[in-house]
Amino acid sequence: MYKILHAEFIAPGIKRFVIDAPRIARKQQPGQFVILRVYEEGERIPLTIEKSDPERGTINIVVQSIGKTTNLLNSLESGDGIRDIVGPLGRPSEIGKFGTVVVMGGGVGTAMAYPSAAALKRAGNRVITILGARSKDLVILEREMREVSDALMVTTDDGTYADKGFVTDKLRQLVENGTRIDLVLAVGPIPMMRAVADITRKENIRTMVSLNPIMIDGTGMCGGCRVLIDGKSEFACVDGPEFDAHRIDFAVLVQRNSMYRVAEQKSMGDFQLERESLLEKVHAEQAECALQGGGR
Amino acid sequence: MTQPAAKSPNPLSLKERMKVPRQPMPEQPPLLRVANFKEVNLGYSEDFARQEALRCLECAKAACVNDCPVGVKVKEFVQLIVAGNFMEAAAKIREDNVLPAITGRVCPQEDHCEGGCLMGKKVTPLGIGYLERFVADYEQRYMDPRNIKRASPSGKKVAIVGSGPSGLTAAGDLVQKGHEVHVFEALHELGGVLVYGIPEFRLPKQIIREQIDYMRAMGVQFETNVVVGKTVTISELMEEEGFDAVFIGTGAGSPLFMGIPGEHWNGVYSANEFLTRINLMHAYEFPKYDEPMLDFRGKDVAVIGGGNTALDAIRSALRLGAGKAYVIYRRSEAEMPARKEEVKHAKQEGIEFRVLTNPIEFLSDGKGWLSGVRCVRMELGEPDASGRRRPVPIEGSEFEVPLSVAVIAVGTSANPLIQSTTPGLATNKKNYIEADPMTQRTSRRGVFAGGDIVTGSATVILAMGAGRRAAKSIHEYLTAGTW
């Protein structure tokens, strides 16, 4: 059992957790993720680590309510526990001195781009950050991102905050203005990352994106997270999660992510009906685990 | 043939023993069992066990013991069954095998103990696996965990990486020598391939849990959710966490795909993923468990491959409600590496074997979902490196099999997580860890390795044999202090 030390919504449906996980905190590097299982009957899902505090032995994750597992997770509070967390998994982001780097965060992807942006800044890059969200209240980590960026732009789809439009509009402007860009790092929904790749491919700008396909073990054992890179299978859990966006077959990525849509919708429907009783069950399991010494 | 030892409790003459038929294993009838995930074999009763044990010829040079990778004293434990001392029989097995309820179920006995049994040369071999299982289950039912003895502490600490068969065996042997043993497991559940790979109908999870609880009572400490190579490295375990020796038993790891077109269509699985979803994640119990599985009801499914993993996968698919279920294998049935009992069970359950057949392309419905597989017929040519006749495609023999799901079970390759994070650890050209076949020592002082991560995919019992040899040599290293 991994204890939640702090939990708060930072935007509607988006919650930040500070979790006691000393082994993971000690080793985490930007770009890496954990796989967690909320309770005994739960599924394993991958989530990127926002940051960690090796001294306190804590990691932060930022979770957006989408399906059953993320909704259940976001129903947990400080003092609750998470059954299993394993990590840090995946290769860390490549951090070096590239020159000018454009970091793009779409929605909750911003939390995943944040540690890499901070590390890229520390490595001496000029960091231009572009954040995007559907509307004003879903813009997250703007202050934190600003601290590690030389310039920061924000877009909202509906124009309720900053500039109306998409992050790709800003990227296109940078390109059209003749800004020299040495690297783009984009983390967000697949259509956003794909659109970024389309722009930078023409300009021959190296572009990395972080993928989040369906995963189970996260150690390269099951092969469920395979993605087509230059026509060959690679495993996002151990070869990624970051890949060169120009080499990714996005169509296959979208297709494979849809594999369990029917089951996922059923789970979500059941969850809405059984939320209270499920939470009771999760709390009972936590209490039992605590009685047994809270073992891992 | 030798005379039985004078002290034999067996009242039958050797001639009479030959006349006793091999006691059949009671099993769930095929039509019933294909609709559930419960264990197929139901186990011997006491009467069956005693009757079967009477068949042992008590050879002076017992091939069964020599052919056992962990050296279980078969003749002695069988004599104890004849005498009705089932708990003592269990203790006798435990001297050499810390996982008797598991090996009694999944060992390919025909390749080891039963393969060399003298009875088998004349009639049918002694049911050693069935007897081992009986004794282990009896022990579990009647033992008192308070009677499990703990050795006095040696003051040495050993880390075991991986809680599969080799790791558990090494842990069990080492803790009995008084060493402090910590087992690190990457997944949330203990047991490695026993848990994620072998289905409930062949090895119930409860059995694994009981065997692990027994090891806990012996003093073994377990930590789940630790991916050695990521969460902590071997060097950190030794330099920062005070481990005097490390045993690496991480298994074979990464699934091999075939490299043919269409492997990314929805509906094409690796056997590792398919079985992990079912076994570790309980996807067959969706929606009680959250891990989803495709709806298999009435869908045609094929597994590619002829090993135990392939049969576990296709038999699981059948239990999920599959319509037609095929095993597609490029060699002939004689070359199939699966246990004979599994092949028999699979056939009883109505699984169709399409041997001498090799897939060349997965086909799709145009919307990203698998719709079938194009295959080519094969014939056997000259023997290859494995000594088996090499399958060669027959030109112009291509044909298509309509399918909704295909499971690829053609083997695994070395998972590089530990090798790439452990300086000084030598590997071979396929990236498996180099270890001495007798001592299981690696190129790095204090680090030992065994099981599939050294040999490539093999069996539970061969991995256990390696764990046993490693434990012996770790103990020697810790006692002598010299490398």
**pLDDT tens-place string over residues B156-173:** 999 999 999 999 999 999
Whether the CB-CB separation of B280 and B195 falls below 8 Å is answered with: yes
pLDDT at B396 over 80: yes
Residue B295 touches partner A, C-beta closer than 8 Å:
yes
Whether the CB-CB separation of B362 and B263 falls below 8 Å is answered with: yes
For A191-232, write each residue's pLDDT tens digit. 999 999 999 999 999 999 999 999 999 999 999 999 999 999
For B408-439, write each residue's pLDDT tens digit. 999 999 999 999 999 999 999 999 999 999 99
Whether the CB-CB separation of B250 and B162 falls below 8 Å is answered with: yes
For B56-75, write each residue's pLDDT tens digit. 999 999 999 999 999 999 99
Distance from CA of A266 to the nearest CA of B (A): 8
For residue B3, name the pLDDT band (cuts at 50, 70, 90).
Answer: low
Which residues on chain B are in Cβ contact (under 8 Å) with A263?
Answer: 286-287, 292-294
Q: What is the DSSP letter of A203?
A: H
Of A8, A9, A10, which is closest to residue A144 (Cα–Cα)?
A10
For A158-185, write each residue's pLDDT tens digit. 999 999 999 999 999 999 999 999 999 9
> In sequence order, what are the residues at sequence separation of 6 or more whose Cβ sits closer than 8 angstroms to the Cβ of residue A232?
none
Residue A218 touches partner B, C-beta closer than 8 Å:
yes
Residue A51 touches partner B, C-beta closer than 8 Å:
no
Beta-bridge mates of residue A58: A20, A53
Q: How far from B326 is each of B30, B220, B310, B353, B404, CA to CA, in Å?
A: 17, 42, 10, 6, 12
Backbone angles phi, psi at A174, to 5 degrees: -60, -45
Distance of CA B9 to the CA centre of its chain: 33
Residue B288 touches partner A, C-beta closer than 8 Å:
yes
Q: How far from B190 is each of B228, B382, B388, B430, B448, CA to CA, in Å?
A: 15, 43, 36, 27, 21
Of A60, A164, A38, A70, which is closest to residue A112 (Cα–Cα)?
A60
3-state secondary structure of A248: strand
Which residues on chain B are in Cβ contact (under 8 Å) with A86?
Answer: 186-188, 225-227, 231
Residue type, A134: R
pTM for the predicted model, two decimal places:
0.94
pLDDT at A108 over 80: yes
- Taking CB atoms and an 8 Å limit, are B292 and A43 in contact across chains? yes
Residue B292 touches partner A, C-beta closer than 8 Å:
yes
The residue in chain B having the minimum alpha-carbon distance to the alpha carbon of residue A257 is B266
> In sequence order, what are the residues at sequence separation of 6 or more whose Cβ sits closer than 8 angstroms to the Cβ of residue B372?
B362, B363, B400, B401, B402, B403
Cis check: omega of the bond before B21, within 30 degrees of 0:
no
- Could you give the CA distance from residue B229 to residue B161 in angstroms, rounded to a whole number? 10
Q: What's the pLDDT at A295?
A: 55
- Taking CB atoms and an 8 Å limit, are B231 and A233 in contact across chains? no
Place of tokens 């080492």: B174
Q: How far from B93 is each of A107, A251, B75, B132, B434, CA to CA, in Å?
A: 59, 55, 10, 8, 30
The residue in chain A having the minimum alpha-carbon distance to the alpha carbon of residue B254 is A221
> In sequence order, what are the residues at sequence separation of 6 or more whose Cβ sits closer than 8 angstroms to the Cβ of residue A164?
A155, A156, A157, A158
Q: What's the pLDDT at B410?
A: 96
Average pLDDT over all residues of chain A: 95
Cis check: omega of the bond before A54, within 30 degrees of 0:
no
The residue in chain B having the minimum alpha-carbon distance to the alpha carbon of residue A38 is B290
For B194-218, write each residue's pLDDT tens digit. 999 999 999 999 999 999 999 999 9
- Taking CB atoms and an 8 Å limit, are B292 and A263 in contact across chains? yes
Instruction: Give the residue-averaged pLDDT of B301-319.
Output: 97
- Taking CB atoms and an 8 Å limit, are A219 and B231 in contact across chains? no
pLDDT at A22 over 70: yes
Inter-axis angle of helices B460-480 and B165-175, to 10 degrees?
Answer: 40
Name the residue among A23, A260, A266 with its Cβ closest to that of B226.
A23
> In sequence order, what are the residues at sequence separation of 6 or more whose Cβ sits closer than 8 angstroms to the Cβ of residue B341?
none
Cis check: omega of the bond before A22, within 30 degrees of 0:
no
Task: List the structure tokens of B361.
Answer: 């392309």
For residue A86, name the pLDDT band (cuts at 50, 70, 90).
Answer: very high
Q: What's the pLDDT at B388?
A: 84
Lowest model confidence (mean pLDDT) among A247-251, B5-9, B72-76, B147-151 = B5-9
**What is chain B's Cα-based Rg?**
23
Distance from CA of A51 to the nearest CA of B (A): 16
- Could you give the CA distance from residue B186 to residue A44 in angstroms, rounded to a whole number? 13
Share of chain B above pLDDT 90, in %: 92
Whether the CB-CB separation of B473 and B446 falls below 8 Å is answered with: no
Instruction: Give the residue-averaged pLDDT of A29-41.
Output: 95
Q: How far from B303 is each of A93, B46, B106, B271, B374, CA to CA, in Å?
A: 37, 38, 20, 8, 14
Q: What is the DSSP letter of A159?
A: S
Distance from CA of A77 to the nearest CA of B (A): 21
- Taking CB atoms and an 8 Å limit, are A263 and B187 in contact across chains? no
Neighbours of B365 (CB within 10 A): 13
pLDDT at B1 over 60: no
Residue B255 touches partner A, C-beta closer than 8 Å:
yes
The residue in chain B having the minimum alpha-carbon distance to the alpha carbon of residue A224 is B273
- Could you give the CA distance from residue A35 to residue A22 in angstroms, rounded to a whole number? 15
Buried b (16+ CB within 10 A) or exposed e, B257-280: bbeeebbbbbbbbbbbbbbbbbbb
pLDDT at A70 over 60: yes
3-state secondary structure of A32: coil
For residue B387, name the pLDDT band (cuts at 50, 70, 90).
Answer: confident
